[in-house]
A and B are shown apart, each in its own frame.
Chain A
Amino acid sequence: AQTVTQSQPEMSVQEAETVTLSCTYDTSENNYYLFWYKQPPSRQMILVIRQEAYKQQNATENRFSVNFQKAAKSFSLKISDSQLGDTAMYFCAFMKQSGGSNYKLTFGKGTLLTVNP
């Protein structure tokens, strides 16, 4: 079974600074996807960034980037130039790919990020 671990229940950062959220996972699969989702106080889940395991290049979306270390099973999220609107719960998630079908999306327990003015 896949597990996803986020070791930082809470973090805080000053506006305009950089912060890194940690995520590790455990799997025997070789083909899979990793995600970071953001959940603001509205509780709507928003996709931040996605990484395919077969791609060595780290994914980037504007101020958000990941450090994907497949051998170490590590998938951290870096937020640059933090903004007040980045305040939210952040979830790391894993989805395996098997036989052309995708299923069982597994989440970590989340990291509550607070951006201070």
Chain B
Amino acid sequence: DGGITQSPKYLFRKEGQNVTLSCEQNLNHDAMYWYRQDPGQGLRLIYYSQIVNDFQKGDIAEGYSVSREKKESFPLTVTSAQKNPTAFYLCASTPGTTAFFGQGTRLTVV
């Protein structure tokens, strides 16, 4: 099936640890995005990438890092510098004008 796959669905992290969220798409889309969702905050853009080996910071990039080594993959690393990482994370991709989303990863710091 074609689509966007985020894994894992639930993730627990100890304070001070880095953790990487996976996002893979087989839709041949050029652009990919990472959003963070908190209650009452909507979706806030963390990073986005237009093409392979290129990405731009979004509105809340501090404490996060990304890579885009392959067109299909756009992993997000939540570093220990992110002070409040507990949230729902959504990955999206677009062929040009409409964004399609993965099912999300719920990250909890324990």
- Residues on A facing B (Cβ under 8 Å): 6, 9, 33, 35, 43-45, 47, 50, 52, 91, 93, 95, 97, 101-110
Q: Are B50 and A103 in contact (CB under 8 A)?
A: yes
Q: Closest A residue to B58 by CB, please name it.
A: A104
Contact of B101 among A44, A50, A52, A97 (CB under 8 A): A44
Q: Closest B residue to A97 by CB, please name it.
A: B97
Max chain B C-beta neighbours (<10 A), residue from A33, A45, A52, A93: A45
Contact of B97 among A33, A44, A91, A110 (CB under 8 A): A33
Question: How many A-B pairs fall under 8 Å by CB?
Answer: 59
Chain B interface category by residue count: 20 to 34
Using Cβ atoms and an 8 Å threshold, which residues of chain A touch B41?
Answer: 109
Using Cβ atoms and an 8 Å threshold, which residues of chain B touch A97?
Answer: 97
Contact of B103 among A35, A43, A50, A105 (CB under 8 A): A43
- Residues on B facing A (Cβ under 8 Å): 30-31, 33, 35, 40-45, 48, 50, 56, 58, 88, 90, 92, 94, 96-101, 103-104
Contact of B94 among A9, A44, A105 (CB under 8 A): A105
Using Cβ atoms and an 8 Å threshold, which residues of chain A touch B48?
Answer: 103-105
B50 to chain A, nearest CB (A): 6
Q: Are A103 and B31 in contact (CB under 8 A)?
A: yes
Assembled-state Cα–Cα distance A93/B101 (Å): 14
Q: List 28 A-B contacts (CB under 8 A).
A: A33-B97, A35-B98, A35-B99, A44-B104, A45-B90, A45-B101, A47-B98, A47-B100, A50-B98, A52-B97, A91-B43, A93-B99, A95-B94, A95-B97, A101-B31, A101-B50, A102-B31, A102-B96, A102-B97, A103-B56, A104-B45, A104-B56, A104-B58, A105-B45, A105-B92, A106-B45, A109-B40, A109-B42
